Amino acid sequence: MFQFKHTRLAVKSIPYLTVAFLLSACDDAAMSIDDNMATACCTYHTQSDENAVFALSEQTVHPETPFFVSLSIPQDAKVVSAKMSGVTMYMGTIPVMFEQRTATKWVAQIMLGSCSEPTMVWHLDVAVVNRDITSHYVYPVSVTHP
C-alpha cells in the first residue's frame, strides 16, 4: 500500500512539474533584441519615405530565418502598430513588434514563412503617430529560397 500511494502522488504531480519546467524555459532576455542591434543592425535595402527610413539586416532574406528591420523616424514619433502581409501570395498577416532602441531608431525581428514561389514579396505596413497625426508607411521585403 505504501508504494502505491507514492506512485499516485508522482503521477498526479507530473502535469504541475511539466508546467513549471515549461515556464522556467521562457527567458525574457532571449525574447528581446540585443542592444548591439540599435546601431549595427541594418544597412541593406535602405528605403526613405517622407519621414521614415527602413533598412534590413540581411542582403538576402530567406524564409523561416529571422532577420531585423530598422526604422528611423523623427524623435517625437512613435510606432503604434506594424504587420507583414504577403503580396505575391496571400499568407495572412503577421504582427510585427518594434522596440525603440534610440530616440529615433526602432528595430523589429521578423521571421516569415515559406511558400511555393521561389521569391515572395511581403509588405511591412507600419503605423506611426507624430504630433497626433497617424501616418502609414509600406516597406516591401523580398524573401528568396536559398
The domains of the chain, with CATH numbers, are 37-144 (2.60.40.1930)
What is the pLDDT confidence band of residue 26, given thresholds at 50, 70 and 90? very low
CA distance 14 to 58: 44
What is the pLDDT confidence band of residue 27, given thresholds at 50, 70 and 90? very low
**Residues β-bridged to residue 143:** 61, 120
**Residues β-bridged to residue 123:** 85, 140
Helices and strands (DSSP H and E) totals, the chain:
3, 9
Identify the residue with better confidence: 73 or 40.
73
Rounded to the nearest integer, the mean pLDDT of the chain is: 82
Place of cell 539586416: 57
Residue 14 has pLDDT above 90, yes or no: no
